[in-house]
Amino acid sequence: MAQVLEFRLPDLGEGLTEAEIVRWLVEVGDVVAVDQPVVEVETAKAMVDVPCPYAGVVTARFGEEGSELPVGSPLITVAVGAPASDPDSDTGTEGSGNVLVGYGTTEAPARRRRVRREQQVPVPVNGRSAAPEVVEGPVPVISPLVRRLARENGLDLRELTGSGPDGLILRADVEYALRAAASSGRPAPALAPETTVASPATASTTPAGTRVPLKGVRGAVADKLSRSRSEIPDATCWVDADATELMRARAAMNGAGGPKISLLALLARICTAALARFPELNSTVDTAAREIVRLDAVHLGFAAQTERGLVVPVVKDAHARDAESLSAEFARLTEAARTGTLTPAELTGGTFTLNNYGVFGVDGSTPIINHPEAAMLGVGRIIPKPWVHEGELAVRQVVQLSLTFDHRVCDGGTAGGFLRYVADCVEQPAVLLRTL
């Protein structure tokens, strides 16, 4: 006789208490193997595939796509030892104990062929039994980001024709549908009504508009930035620097063959050298103990704009890496950020942040410190400008550097010394070689 086991949303680590269901990977009646991912969730840190530690037949699912579940709440139930029509399925009663893909003791197996029973079991939603959702046909969408964009704008994907291979619906298709609906004045094919703020019949100063929930990555960023502004007495200093020689040095390095060195990696190498000279800026403030904690290692965060919002992946032990290693790690983390596969561990633990906002075509900014760090270096775009070089006016590659720092950990002299050292290395890369 089959034994029905309940699998609850596991502790995802890093103090996270809830997660949003982005996409179910199994249906009621499917046969699952040990450690097979059953749901894709989004936390305030990252997208995570959650594997089930049991093998058997899925008898119930809890929660709809787009809903949030607290850690410890029921996720699915699995009938262990139930007969399965798939002879290759592993329906043993042993569980792996794995919590997340990549965090367990065994290698995650390839996904099994899904076997659907002819009779569907009602899917409990929010603890109550509900009839399974009736879908006339499969919606050809792979990306959870596309699904989320459509969901947040009340767009029914079943009404769209995809432009991708085999009719796959792409992000561009969703954006085109939204733009077309906006330009024609007609609402997009609605899946659910939007939540709007309507002005009352009487006079009101509150205009009508759409409410966008501050949750997931955007909510976490909002909380962190608000906490930074409220807790840290920050100050900003900036300087223009002639980056012509740095660009020439990079071109020479990449022209010699071997792996390409990114500009971000060279700036990171300059940052770690500067932090070795000014360790006050690689610190954090323990407000409860009223102590400044100067940190031994440099775990360098860098701002990355993604479809899910702003994230800050962290290069661990950046001070021990050369330019080639930094380039490779920046590339790996950037790709993971783009695809939404960063792990919570890759998004936490930073001690200093490098923000290259020049990629947005702007010259300068006043960065907000990534709490609980003590400083952030901002880098604007590098563009040709008139510059006095060796006593004569010339066109040089100029960049603006800005440093926002926690005034509790150091005074302006230290911050200015750090920024001046960074600028000197940008202008004369040989300065970096002399101080290594």
Sequence-ordered list of residues with C-beta below 8 angstroms from that of 423, at least 6 positions apart, any chain: 239, 241, 401
- Give the residue among 232, 228, 217 at the shortest CA–CA distance from 347: 217
Question: Which residues are paired to 379 by β-bridges?
Answer: 356, 401
Q: Hey, is 71 helix, strand or coil?
A: coil
Q: Which helix (H) or strand (E) holds 175?
A: helix 171-184
Q: Please, how many CA atoms are within 13 Å of residue 182, restricted to the half-sphere of its CB?
A: 8
Active-site option among 88, 223, 317, 407? 407
**Catalytic-residue membership of 407:** yes
Locate tokens 């065994």: which residue? 106
CA separation for the pair 78, 61 (Å, rounded): 9
Locate tokens 């009646």: which residue? 29
CA separation for the pair 349, 15 (Å, rounded): 13
Locate tokens 């990555």: which residue? 217
For residues 216 and 222, is the Cβ–Cβ distance under 8 A? no
**Catalytic-residue membership of 173:** no
- Give the residue among 12, 25, 9, 43 at the shortest CA–CA distance from 309: 43
Locate tokens 């982005």: which residue? 22
Active-site option among 35, 286, 411, 424? 411
CA separation for the pair 174, 306 (Å, rounded): 17
Sequence-ordered list of residues with C-beta below 8 angstroms from that of 184, at least 6 positions apart, any chain: none
Catalytic residues, which ones?
407, 411
